[in-house]
Amino acid sequence: MRTRTNPWTVPLRRWLADAMTPWTVRRLILPESLTAPDGWLLRGAVEAEHESHSDAWGNLDLARTPHEVLTILRHQRYVRRERFVAVAGPASDVTPDPALVLGSAALSLAVDNNTHTGHLEISVRPDARRQGIGAALHAAAVAGARAAGRTTLTASTDQRSEPAPGPATLTPSTGSGLVRSDDEGARFALAHGFELEQVTRYSVLDVPLEPTFLAGQHAAARAAAGDAYRIVTWDDPCPDEWVDQLAELETRMSTDAPGGGLDLHEDRWDAARVRATEAELRERGMRHSVAAAVHGPTGALVAFSAFKRPAWTDEFVHQHDTLVLAEHRGRRLGMLVKTANLQRLAAEQPGARRIGTWNAEENVHMLGINVALGFRPSGGSGEWQARIG
């Protein structure tokens, strides 16, 4: 990655040379380590992202550590990842200092599937906004996406609460959920040609749950499922006997979960990709805990729910993917696998205090399960899409 050339960096530099700004945008070169001489740019990018996260959410539950970001950038087999940073001062005269990084853009480009699109995340320190930094980072990322042959970009904007219906709101193409039209992120997205295609809800569950309540929910779900299903659980790595079927469930996440109006197609997984993802999570310091339902007559995995448990805190847990195959729905398997994982969490991580999860606002069934468990709405995001071809 260090020596890879990019055909669009030269015109980008020419554009920046003409901009006459008090900052410059540069492509982030992957450092050997966080303490390497050029590691300050990555540390500064993460600092900018943390300030942006804190401003948006009031905490860093959803942020990544510098070690995690470095690890993610080292894994490029299934997603090509590019980073751009805006640095205060001219490119030729900058003293290495993470505080000089004013903002960053993360561009993610799938390698094998959905190769027409990319995902963009832009973060600018709150006190450096409204100076054109976000627009310049956006221009750099769009140039990179176009050079990679992409014709579509997706992006997300955060909101701490969903607004009430009114004239100052936007409705996605799904018709479910709202965002504020005067929100800073929404205004930026609209100004750069993005259209709102989906709204997702962020929900938080305070844990531990009262054991009797959790046991009751689990027992009711097990009774509804009947004797045809049993629960299996594991932490990373997935047992060899299930890895191919887990890959199929991950593939079905891309087709069975609501995608709104986003132009996304099947994202095919196989056992090699499962193992590569597990390796990345281990290097990041994340523990991946899965509860799955096995259909006894066929021996197939038909539902699963996963936690990502970061190493840097015991208090926060991310509720990751949950899926029940369409042909096995209506038997409360979603509640069954979720409560099984919650019971494990209570026993194995008693310091956990909150679980965060995301769901499309049109996914009423999964939202209903979450509400029944006690998840409370705690904000959300607008999911946007722009045609750049």
Predicted confidence (pLDDT) per residue in 140-157, tens digit:
999 999 999 999 999 999
Residue 224 and residue 145 in one domain: no
Residue 162 lies in a domain: no
Residue 177 lies in a domain: no
CATH number at residue 297: 3.40.630.30
| pTM across the whole model | 0.91
> With contact defined as beta carbons under 8 Å apart, do 325 and 302 qualify?
yes
- Give the model's confidence band at 91: pLDDT under 50 very low, under 70 low, under 90 confident, else very high: low
Domain span at 298: 208-352
Residue 36 and residue 131 in one domain: yes
Residues β-bridged to residue 198: 383
pLDDT score recorded for residue 95 = 81
The predicted-structure confidence for 225-279, as pLDDT tens digits, reads as follows 999 999 999 998 999 999 999 999 999 999 999 999 999 999 999 999 999 999 9
- Domain end among 135, 150, 165: 150
Q: Is the peptide bond before 31 cis (omega within 30 degrees of 0)?
A: no
Residue 111 and residue 29 in one domain: yes
Residue 76 lies in a domain: yes
Walk across the sheet containing 23-27 and list its strands. Answer: 23-27, 79-88, 101-110, 117-124, 152-159, 376-387, 195-206, 354-360, 316-324, 300-310, 286-295, 229-235
Residue 112 and residue 236 in one domain: no
> d(Cα 107, Cα 205) in Å, to the nearest integer?
31
Residue 319 lies in a domain: yes
Residue 264 and residue 335 in one domain: yes
**Beta pairing, strands 316-324 & 300-310:** antiparallel
Residue 117 and residue 217 in one domain: no
The predicted-structure confidence for 327-339, as pLDDT tens digits, reads as follows 999 999 999 999 9
Residue 248 lies in a domain: yes
Residue 139 and residue 220 in one domain: no
- Neighbouring C-alpha atoms within 13 Å toward the C-beta of 45: 31
Residue 280 lies in a domain: yes
Residue 228 and residue 347 in one domain: yes
Residue 369 lies in a domain: no
What's the structural domain count of the chain?
Answer: 2
pLDDT score recorded for residue 184 = 95
Percent of the chain with pLDDT over 90: 92
State CA 17 to chain mean position distance.
Answer: 34
Residue 13 and residue 108 in one domain: yes
Residue 220 and residue 319 in one domain: yes
Residue 165 lies in a domain: no
- Domain end among 150, 185, 219: 150
Residue 224 and residue 327 in one domain: yes
The predicted-structure confidence for 318-361, as pLDDT tens digits, reads as follows 999 999 999 999 999 999 999 999 999 999 999 999 999 999 99
Residue 131's φ and ψ, nearest 5 degrees, are -120, 5
pLDDT score recorded for residue 301 = 98
The predicted-structure confidence for 35-82, as pLDDT tens digits, reads as follows 999 999 999 999 999 999 999 999 999 999 999 999 999 999 999 999
